[in-house]
Every structure is written in structure tokens, then in C-alpha cells.
Amino acid sequence: MPAVVEDELQKARQLGMQYLSQADRSAYQIRQRLERASFPEAVIAQVLAEFEQRRWLDDEQFARRWVEGRLGKRALSPRRLASDLEQRGLAPETVARVLEEFSGALDNQDAMAELLRRQQGHYAGLDQQKAQRRMLDFLRRRGYAEEGAWQAVNQVWKEMQKDEIQGD
């Protein structure tokens, strides 16, 4: 391999490793970064193949870690998670497979209700209509469907009223 190509390949590897060391990345994200740095397609393809061979890049594992991270702190609906993952260049089949693995923890009334419970201080002291509208909007912004969200909103509102009565 000519020294010029080998030199570019080494620079591309270093940039890819540096980018990957900052956070989990999909193959698409690494490709975009290398393209922005103006590396030739042949060099990019070789770097991506090497990273995948060494198991530094695995889009399915990336998707699992992404979903797990969102479950713990910023709960989102499956629809919103799918959109986020597809924006990161993951194939729809990969996204569907990973979201199916997490289906029990996603987009169910219990998950929505738990999310609202963590936020219930924001709704205390508001009249019912205003509080419920804000709860629903909160869930919608995270991508939850309205019909399931209403059930969770009503459940949490009832719990809040019960707690308020017991607290008096």
C-alpha cells in the first residue's frame, strides 16, 4: 500500500477512535465524521470494516445501550426512540429488533404513570383540567400516544388527589 494512502488510513483510524472514545457511536455517525474530515470513501470503508471486525462498532449493541440509557433517566416512547435511533443511521430492522427486546419496559401505562409520578410536583396545586393537560402534553412531547397517555394521566391524577386527602 502506498505511503500516502497508509498515512491517510492511519489519520482516519485515529480520528475515528478519538470520536468513538468520546461516546458510543453508530457506524453512520463515524462515517459522517470521517466524511466531514474529507477522507476518501475507500479509506472510510476500510476504517469502518476494521472497527466492526474489532467489535468497536456494533449498531445493534449501540441501539441497546442507547435505549437502556433512556429508560433510566429520560423515558421516551418507542416511537420517539425509533426516530432518535434512525437519525443516528441505524437500519429500521435493527431498531425494530432492539425495541422489541425492550417492549415490556416501553410504552405501557405503568411506564407513563411512573414518569408522571416523578414529575407530580409540577402539577400539585393546579386545578384538574390544567394539571391533566400539562401531564398529557408532557407525555406527548416524549412521543407517547394520546389514548394510552390519558389513562396514565387519569391514574396519576387520582393518586395525587388520594394523597392530598390523606395528607390533610
Domain match, 69 and 42 both: no
Please state the domain count of the chain: 3
Domain match, 19 and 63 both: no
Domain match, 100 and 73 both: yes
Domain match, 117 and 154 both: yes
Domain match, 46 and 83 both: no
Domain match, 123 and 158 both: yes
Domain match, 70 and 101 both: yes
Domain match, 82 and 124 both: no
Q: Are 135 and 116 in contact (CB under 8 A)?
A: yes
44 Cβ contact list (under 8 Å, min separation 6): 12, 31, 34, 35
pLDDT greater than 90 at residue 144: no
Look-up: residue for cell 409520578?
Answer: 117
Q: Write out pLDDT tens, residues 65-104.
A: 988 888 766 667 788 889 999 999 999 999 999 988 887 7
Confidence of residue 6 (pLDDT cuts 50, 70, 90): confident
Domain match, 44 and 89 both: no
Domain match, 68 and 100 both: yes
Confidence of residue 3 (pLDDT cuts 50, 70, 90): low
pTM over 0.75: no
Q: Tell me the residue range of the domain where 96 lies.
A: 59-105
Domain match, 135 and 152 both: yes
Q: Write out pLDDT tens, residues 118-140.
A: 888 888 888 889 989 999 898 88
Cα 72 to the chain's mean position, in Å? 11
Closest among 108, 63, 101, 69 to 82, alpha carbons compared: 63
List phi, psi (to 5°) of 126. -90, 155
* pLDDT value of position 45: 95
